[in-house]
């Protein structure tokens, strides 16, 4: 019932919603599901599957989640498993890590990853490094999740992308879903993973609906961590991206296709461990590479991809230097016109593609 | 036989000294020792509590010998570590616990091995009481493959069952401990978590965040501040606006305990454990204790305190001497017996040190292992792009 209610509330394409849980005679077809609902269902299913899984964070319980991602969960699972915390990130992140050390499987929500900076010591020093420091005696099965990167009009302190920061650290897995299938499958994998996983969502993607195949709707559907996906095949150039920018790449590819340029668009899905093999295979085919991300350029995801391409077999197949399309190297401004020009737009991707292809 | 009875009757006639006791003579054993005795212990200051722990503690001969042996082992182990560090066989950080033995041993006496414990970096003593062996601890300090963390953790990162280290970041272990307590409550096994920190850490913000949540959610957590009067080189007066650490939990009830008396610590811990297990939520204990060494091996420990002060504590309040005197004065053990234990302990430490200096270092193949748990083997980038190292789970 909760699922039905939440589908109806999400407006848009809610028609098929009722079919899924309520009627069992008809085989489920593919469904339009928003990223938010995909995340919600993934958590619901994992909470049901394993008693040790629980969710804690600010406003996750009685408020139904600051961005409604945990809507309905508190009503269904109660105080023991869905815990509202005070606004004390360092404290509750540490508590979450400690509970993981002692046998539970927490999902620790940061209202945005900007606030995770207050707790970053617990994520890195207490969670990521412990299995290694203890030489395998102490594992930490925890998921840190929340929206990451730029939103809309939230300005400098609320818009930072942490993919590169967390992607830097051994002992962590870092995941960055784009669409609903990514969100659902990767979150389930993250919760089932016995290691610390940083799960970077995107606020602007929460309300976007995507088709979820029949297979993707199954309770045991997972997307493997560490494997990228080729969203669009192409021969002329490889575009590599993660999170919201994947959509921008696909849009740019659609426009470029009209001009006869066929882009291969790779959705990284996982930042760490990065699936460099998929990128290499693509570059060997297309001979050109452009990375696209929302975060800042220096020491970023794109920088890592370019470095690895240079160090690997794909370098010899490049017909032009690999380049990065990134957010502008400034704190995020507020005014709309400035904000719009602080993140990559479709025209920026197209421009970089054409420059790389020298057309 | 006659002599024994004379001694016993002398004691019964009551000479109440510092360790005055009312001796209870149980059935005579072949050794004719007193099987148990009840001792007066210092009263604990309380905060937000109607009453504190009892004012007496009953000690059996068996327990007394056990505490003595453990404390002596701890003491000798730390002194050996000092020696090895000065010989440069131990490197990096080494924070020694000598002087504070009554805390670790007293706490363990008040809880069960099925309970949980977490502490900061002055952790060798707790690694021992939680089930680690001297061999494994020393080999970890010397960075050998026989170390409790296979040589990969070092002094500050030792782990055992229900013992979560050994934590290097000051104060970070406190939220972790409350998290362990949350798991205890969640899993309904009537277990609790003892969560230790020092007087230096006591001012950390995350500790207050933890007090808040532990209290709100009634977590079965015993917060213990080991107040050894100095946070590194800064005395408590210079670091804390309020040095009443047992009151700093505000809404959390607190006890201030004589941390040099193993019986006092034991009774206080039992009291605190009962409190927690009854579902009343967290409780805070301040153990007033002292460390003989400096903060770490790189700190001589005399630039911010006088040698006289250290000497005074050693002569008047040493935890091992206190227990020894109590047992001897009450005929619970003989001088020879305790000497025998000392010899055995010394041998154990020597053997452990021998192992720790001769065991080989971890194999290079182990370099990249233990990144992830329950994971298929993967490659880790080495120092250069052609170096692909193997990582096993």
Is residue B24 scored above 90 in pLDDT? no
**Among A48, A115, A34, A36, which Cα is nearest to A82's?**
A48
pLDDT number for residue B3: 55
Contact list in B for residue A125 (CB cut-off 8 A) is: 168-169, 172
User: B315 is written with which tokens?
Assistant: 């002569």
Burial of residue A333, with CB atoms counted within 10 A of its CB: 0-12 exposed, 13-18 middle, 19 or more buried: middle
pLDDT digits (tens, 9 = 90+) for B238-255: 999 999 999 999 999 999
Interface with chain A: mutation pick from B186, B223, B366, B386, highest number of A CBs within 10 Å: B186
Burial of residue B188, with CB atoms counted within 10 A of its CB: 0-12 exposed, 13-18 middle, 19 or more buried = exposed
What is the rounded average pLDDT of the residues B18-28?
46
Contacts 24+ apart (CB under 8 A), B362-366: B362/B143, B362/B144, B362/B145, B362/B150, B362/B151, B362/B152, B363/B145, B365/B390, B366/A135, B366/B145, B366/B150, B366/B152
- Are A98 and B182 within 8 A, CB to CB? yes
Below-50 pLDDT ranges, chain A:
1-20, 23
pLDDT in tens, B39-91: 999 999 999 999 999 999 999 999 999 999 999 999 999 999 999 999 999 99
**For residues B134 and B129, what is the distance between their CA atoms, to the nearest angstrom?**
10
Q: How confident is the model at residue B32 (pLDDT cuts 50, 70, 90)?
A: confident
pLDDT of residue B205: 98
Q: How far is A176 from chain B (nearest CA, A)?
A: 19
Q: What is the pLDDT of residue B17?
A: 44
Closest in A88, A90, A311 to B385, CB measured: A311
Distance CA(A149)–CA(A142), nearest Å, equals 21
For residue B19, pLDDT over 70 is answered with: no
Find chain A residues with C-beta within 8 A of B174's C-beta.
Answer: 94
B153 pLDDT above the threshold of 80 = yes
Q: Any CB–CB contact under 8 A between B367 and chain A?
A: no
Q: What ipTM score was computed for the predicted complex, to two decimals?
A: 0.91
Tell me the DSSP string of A278-331: HHHHHHHHHS-EEEE-SS-STT-HHHHHHHHHHHSGGGGG-SS--EEE---SSP
Which residue in B152, B153, B169 is closest to A121 by CB distance? B169
CA–CA distance, A283 with B58 (Å, rounded to integer): 77
Residues belonging to chain A with any Cβ–Cβ distance to chain B shorter than 8 Å = 54, 80, 83, 85-86, 88, 90-104, 121-122, 125-126, 130-139, 141, 170-171, 173, 194-195, 273, 311-312
Residues of A annotated as catalytic (active site), given as ranges: 89, 158
Output the CA–CA distances (angstroms, integers) from residue A237 to A231, A303, A305, A355, B20, in the order listed: 14, 18, 15, 11, 88
B116, B172, B187: residue with CB nearest A122: B172
Contact B223, B282 (CB under 8 A): yes
> Which of A94, A126, A314 to substitute to test the interface with B, most B CBs within 10 Å?
A94
Distance of CA A147 to the CA centre of its chain: 8
CA distance A198 to chain B (A): 14
- Give strand pairing partners of A237: A263
- Closest listed residue to residue A225, CA positions, set A196, A247, A264: A196
- Phi then psi for residue A18, to 5 deg, are -60, -30
In angstroms, how far is CA A193 from the centroid of its own chain?
16
Q: Crossing angle for the helix pair A276-286 and A301-311, nearest 10 degrees?
A: 70
| More reliable by pLDDT, B311 or A27 | B311
Q: What is the DSSP letter of A66?
A: T
Which of A102, A121, A173 minimises the CB distance to B180? Answer: A102
- Is A97 within 8 Å of B179 when comparing Cβ atoms? yes
Whether B8 shows a pLDDT value over 70: the answer reads: no
Inspect the interface and report whether the beta carbons of A98 and B180 lie closer than 8 Å: yes
Q: Which residues pair with B165 in a beta bridge?
A: none
Nearest CA in chain B to A225: B375
Which residues, in sequence order, are bridge partners of residue A143? A107, A197
Between the two ends of chain A, the Cα-to-Cα distance in Å is 55
What percent of chain B is modeled with pLDDT above 70? 92
Digit-coded pLDDT (tens) for B97-115 = 999 999 999 999 999 999 9
Residue A8's pLDDT is 44
Whole-prediction pTM value?
A: 0.91
Positive or negative: CA dihedral B98, B101, B103, B107: positive
Specify whether the CB–CB gap between A280 and A237 falls below 8 A: no
Mean pLDDT, all residues of chain B: 94
- The number of CA neighbours under 13 Å toward the Cβ of B18 is 9
pLDDT score, position B4: 55
| The predicted structure's pLDDT at residue B310 | 97
Q: Provide the shortest C-alpha distance from residue A175 to chain B (in Å).
A: 15
Altogether, the residues listed in chain A come to a count of 359
**Do B210 and A94 make contact, defined as CB atoms within 8 angstroms?**
yes
Dihedrals phi, psi of B8, to nearest 5 degrees: -60, -45
For B206, the closest of A91, A100, A131 (CB atoms) is A91
Q: According to the model, what pLDDT value does residue B18 have?
A: 46
Residue B281 has pLDDT above 70, yes or no: yes
What would the mean pLDDT of B134-149 be, rounded to a whole number?
98
């Amino acid at each position: 019932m909760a699922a039905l209610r939440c589908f109806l509330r999400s407006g848009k394409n809610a028609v098929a919603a009722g079919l899924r849980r309520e009627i069992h005679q008809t085989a489920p077809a593919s469904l339009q599901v928003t990223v938010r609902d995909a995340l919600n269902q993934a958590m619901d299913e994992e909470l049901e599957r394993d008693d040790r899984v629980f969710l804690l964070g600010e406003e996750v319980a009685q408020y139904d989640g600051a961005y409604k991602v945990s809507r309905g969960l508190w009503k269904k699972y109660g105080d023991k498993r869905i815990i509202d915390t005070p606004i004390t990130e360092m404290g509750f992140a540490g508590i979450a890590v400690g509970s993981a050390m002692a046998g539970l499987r927490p999902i620790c929500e940061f209202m945005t990853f900007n606030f995770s900076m207050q707790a970053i010591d617990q994520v890195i020093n207490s969670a990521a490094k412990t299995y290694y420091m203890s030489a395998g005696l102490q594992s930490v099965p925890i998921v840190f999740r929340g929206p990451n990167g730029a939103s809309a009009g939230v300005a400098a302190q609320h818009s930072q992308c942490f993919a590169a920061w967390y992607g830097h650290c051994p002992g962590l897995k870092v995941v960055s879903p784009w669409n609903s299938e990514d969100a659902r499958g990767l979150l389930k994998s993250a919760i089932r993973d016995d290691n610390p996983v940083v799960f970077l969502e995107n606020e602007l993607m929460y309300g976007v609906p995507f088709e979820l195949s029949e297979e993707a709707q199954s309770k045991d559907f997972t997307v493997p961590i560490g494997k990228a996906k080729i969203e669009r095949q192409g021969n002329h150039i490889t575009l590599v991206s993660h999170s919201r920018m994947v959509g921008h790449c696909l849009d740019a590819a659609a426009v470029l296709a009209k001009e006869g340029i066929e882009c291969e668009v790779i959705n990284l899905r996982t930042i760490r461990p990065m699936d460099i093999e998929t990128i290499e295979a693509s570059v060997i085919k297309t001979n050109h590479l452009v990375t696209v991300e929302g975060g800042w350029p220096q020491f970023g995801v794109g920088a890592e991809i370019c470095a690895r391409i240079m160090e690997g077999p794909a370098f010899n197949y490049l017909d032009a230097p690999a380049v990065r399309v990134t957010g502008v190297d400034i704190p995020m401004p507020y005014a709309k016109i400035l904000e719009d020009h602080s993140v990559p737009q479709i025209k920026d991707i197209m421009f970089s593609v054409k420059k790389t292809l020298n057309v | 036989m006659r002599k024994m009875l004379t001694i016993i009757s002398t004691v019964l006639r009551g000479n109440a000294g510092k360790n005055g006791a009312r001796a209870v003579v149980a059935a005579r054993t072949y050794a004719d020792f007193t099987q148990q005795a009840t001792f007066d212990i210092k009263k604990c200051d309380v905060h937000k509590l109607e009453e504190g722990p009892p004012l007496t503690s009953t000690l059996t001969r068996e327990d007394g010998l056990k505490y003595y042996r453990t404390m002596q082992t701890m003491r000798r182990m730390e002194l050996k570590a000092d020696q090895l560090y000065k010989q440069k066989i131990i490197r990096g950080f080494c924070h020694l616990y000598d002087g504070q033995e009554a805390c670790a041993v007293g706490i363990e006496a008040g809880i069960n091995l099925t309970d949980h414990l977490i502490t900061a970096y002055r952790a060798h003593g707790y690694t021992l009481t939680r089930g680690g062996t001297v061999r494994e601890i020393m080999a970890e300090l010397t960075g050998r493959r026989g170390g409790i963390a296979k040589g990969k953790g070092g002094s500050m990162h030792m782990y055992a069952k229900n013992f979560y280290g050994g934590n290097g970041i000051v104060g970070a272990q406190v939220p972790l401990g409350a998290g362990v307590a949350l798991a205890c409550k969640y899993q309904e096994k009537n277990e609790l978590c003892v969560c230790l920190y020092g007087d230096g850490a006591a001012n950390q913000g995350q500790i207050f965040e933890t007090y808040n949540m532990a209290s709100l959610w009634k977590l079965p957590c015993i917060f213990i501040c080991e107040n050894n009067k100095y946070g590194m080189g800064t005395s408590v007066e210079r670091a804390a606006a309020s040095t009443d650490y047992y009151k700093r939990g505000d809404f959390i009830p607190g006890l201030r305990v004589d941390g040099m008396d193993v019986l006092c610590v034991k009774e206080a811990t039992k009291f605190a454990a009962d409190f927690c297990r009854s579902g009343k939520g967290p409780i805070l204990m301040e153990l007033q204790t002292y460390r003989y060494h400096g903060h770490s091996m790189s700190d001589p420990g005399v630039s911010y305190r006088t040698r006289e002060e250290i000497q005074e504590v050693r002569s008047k309040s040493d935890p091992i001497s206190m227990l020894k005197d109590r047992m001897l004065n009450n005929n619970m053990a003989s001088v020879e017996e305790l000497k025998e234990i000392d010899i055995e302990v010394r041998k154990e430490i020597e053997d452990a040190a021998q192992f720790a200096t001769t065991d080989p270092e971890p194999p290079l193949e182990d370099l990249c292992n233990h990144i992830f748990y329950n994971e298929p083997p993967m490659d880790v980038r080495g120092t250069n792009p052609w170096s692909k190292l193997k990582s096993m789970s």
